[in-house]
A and B are shown apart, each in its own frame.
Chain A
């Protein structure tokens, strides 16, 4: 993949969130988030349950409608009422905690269906891309299996391959390993590490502090709908400045 035009005036911003507010009814879940991910950066979002991490992630691809604020994805304003949200979403891969593979389709079909229906790729090309991505996540032999016959770790790797098959500009992960048995977590994290090493832009909500420390360029700590602290993993995780960060880390580490 070669990017010929680089959006210079936005810097190298892959995701740019400005003053984002989100209400569910009267409940203000995001209270003015400013947030920036550069191209090729890996950002881990950590924080206690209910702090708004998933909501922030889901606002980035408009699965949740922000109440106010601006979100730019590769320089395009996804929050613009006239934006082609479907086309923008096709450029943003997303991996869910609960995998969400399509159970009525084989693994291969899971990987080709959106390529064909959304990107209008031909059958042969879609299959070729799908197989390449299955190989990348180490599941070439599962192409014809149905999701129900795979382990959780395998399902999650298929979900990652499905997202990659759309050749996205960036990937969003919402606690990708939280639903997995401990012994299956490693395989999924390994795939994510190799993605990061390839230079994929990644926003990862996670409780895996080891992964954050090792892979992230930046760690963001959220609590109560605001970003309390952000910075290099060594700083935020190793030497937190804020009391709430310290309290959270002492509980999870």
Chain B
């Protein structure tokens, strides 16, 4: 390499080229941000989205009614969905043919339908057809609807989790004299749930958002969850600030859950 200087300068090295491309990207981004800052009407934006008086007026009801109800609806739907999902998963793995067919049918049906359709049928459809609400009123309806939608998804997750537990675990348990049920409850399911905790938590996040569909049932004021609450306040004030408020409330639930999922995934990734 002694006479490298004599050689006519070659094309830029790949590393230099990559660095240049990166600088250009940063510069473009900076220009874009500057442009938006200059062109935006900040006073107007603040008035429409961040009116502190309107935001303040949402408290405490946005927490003690709306956030509380979102959590209740989601928790009830998730609990029912988890139980249903477990039953469907075990039916799917059953040696009894009809159990497998029934469970496959239910799973495919509720995975295939938009959640809104399920809410419409169970809420409006049911009361139109039978002249009364489902038992448990709106809470019963939202539990059933979210549970069916979530349960159908969770069934497949749980089934995969059970199948991921090596067959030898079940056999070792049976060899020790455990019944089928005892072996599943004590040996197989605890190991399965360890694997599927992250996807189940993701499902909880999805259900948190789907719980907003309850608005089509026609809620009384004290049944408002975040979306219904925000919508009402948005209309009343002709302002978007309430929506920003409820958005933050949703994130208050979902972001910690996401962090938990990521932690669990990092941990199980390391364990492997």
A162 with B169: CB separation less than 8 A:
no
A104 with B176: CB separation less than 8 A:
no
Q: Separation in Å of the A197 CB from the closest CB of chain B?
A: 24
Question: With a CB–CB cut-off of 8 A, which chain B residues contact A104?
Answer: 190-191, 194
Question: With a CB–CB cut-off of 8 A, which chain A residues contact B190?
Answer: 104
Instruction: For chain B, residues 168 to 188, give those with C-beta under 8 angstroms from any C-beta of chain A.
Output: 168-169, 171-179, 182, 186-187
Closest to B180 in A: A86
Q: Separation in Å of the B61 CB from the closest CB of chain A?
A: 44
CA distance A89 to B182 in the complex (A): 14
Partner of B177 from A90, A96, A101 at Cβ < 8 Å: A90
Instruction: For chain B, residues 139 to 197, give those with C-beta under 8 angstroms from any C-beta of chain A.
Output: 166, 168-169, 171-179, 182, 186-187, 190-191, 194
Question: With a CB–CB cut-off of 8 A, which chain B residues contact A163?
Answer: 175-176
Question: With a CB–CB cut-off of 8 A, which chain A residues contact B194?
Answer: 104
User: Is A118 located at the chain interface by the 8 A CB criterion?
Assistant: yes
CA distance A163 to B176 in the complex (A): 7
CA distance A93 to B177 in the complex (A): 9
Given that A100-B168, A102-B169 are known contacts, is A89 also in contact with B175, CB under 8 Å in the complex?
yes
Partner of B176 from A98, A103, A118 at Cβ < 8 Å: A118
B168 with A89: CB separation less than 8 A:
no
Given that A96-B171, A100-B169 are known contacts, is A90 also in contact with B176, CB under 8 Å in the complex?
yes
Question: With a CB–CB cut-off of 8 A, which chain A residues contact B178?
Answer: 86, 114, 117-118
User: Is A12 located at the chain interface by the 8 A CB criterion?
Assistant: no
Closest to A61 in B: B175
B177 with A114: CB separation less than 8 A:
yes
| Number of B residues, CB within 8 Å of A | 18
User: Is A166 located at the chain interface by the 8 A CB criterion?
Assistant: yes
Binary interface encoding of chain A residues 5-22 relative to chain B, with 1 for a CB under 8 A from any of its CBs, else 0? 000000000000000000
Question: With a CB–CB cut-off of 8 A, which chain A residues contact B171?
Answer: 63, 96, 100
A166 with B176: CB separation less than 8 A:
yes
B186 with A117: CB separation less than 8 A:
yes
Question: With a CB–CB cut-off of 8 A, which chain B residues contact A98?
Answer: 166, 168
| Number of A residues, CB within 8 Å of B | 26
Given that A113-B186, A117-B186 are known contacts, is A102 also in contact with B177, CB under 8 Å in the complex?
no
B174 with A89: CB separation less than 8 A:
yes
B175 with A94: CB separation less than 8 A:
yes
What's the dominant secondary structure at chain B's contact region?
A: helix
Question: With a CB–CB cut-off of 8 A, which chain A residues contact B175?
Answer: 61, 63, 89, 92-94, 163
Question: With a CB–CB cut-off of 8 A, which chain A residues contact B174?
Answer: 63, 86, 89
B179 with A86: CB separation less than 8 A:
yes
CA distance A94 to B175 in the complex (A): 6
A96 with B168: CB separation less than 8 A:
yes
User: Is A87 located at the chain interface by the 8 A CB criterion?
Assistant: yes
CA distance A99 to B16 in the complex (A): 55
Binary interface encoding of chain A residues 149-180 relative to chain B, with 1 for a CB under 8 A from any of its CBs, else 0? 00000000001001100100000000000000
Given that A63-B175, A87-B177, A114-B178 are known contacts, is A102 also in contact with B187, CB under 8 Å in the complex?
yes
Question: With a CB–CB cut-off of 8 A, which chain B residues contact A92?
Answer: 175
Question: With a CB–CB cut-off of 8 A, which chain A residues contact B179?
Answer: 86
Question: With a CB–CB cut-off of 8 A, which chain A residues contact B187?
Answer: 102
Instruction: For chain A, residues 116 to 163, give those with C-beta under 8 angstroms from any C-beta of chain B.
Output: 117-119, 159, 162-163
Q: Separation in Å of the B208 CB from the closest CB of chain A?
A: 29
CA distance A229 to B81 in the complex (A): 58
Given that A102-B187, A104-B191, A113-B186 are known contacts, is A86 also in contact with B168, CB under 8 Å in the complex?
no
A117 with B182: CB separation less than 8 A:
yes
Question: With a CB–CB cut-off of 8 A, which chain B residues contact A91?
Answer: 177
CA distance A119 to B176 in the complex (A): 10
Closest to A166 in B: B176
A86 with B177: CB separation less than 8 A:
yes
Closest to B190 in A: A104
Given that A104-B190, A113-B186 are known contacts, is A89 also in contact with B172, CB under 8 Å in the complex?
no
Closest to A58 in B: B171
Binary interface encoding of chain B residues 239-268 relative to chain A, with 1 for a CB under 8 A from any of its CBs, else 0? 000000000000000000000000000000
Q: Separation in Å of the B112 CB from the closest CB of chain A?
A: 35
Q: Separation in Å of the A209 CB from the closest CB of chain B?
A: 26
CA distance A86 to B186 in the complex (A): 16
6 residue pairs A–B, Cβ–Cβ below 8 Å: A89-B175, A89-B177, A90-B177, A100-B168, A114-B176, A118-B177
Beyond the given A117-B182, A163-B175, could you list 18 further A-B residue pairs with CB under 8 A, ordered by the A residue number? A86-B179, A87-B177, A89-B174, A89-B176, A92-B175, A93-B175, A96-B171, A96-B172, A100-B169, A100-B172, A104-B191, A113-B176, A113-B186, A114-B176, A114-B178, A117-B178, A118-B177, A118-B178
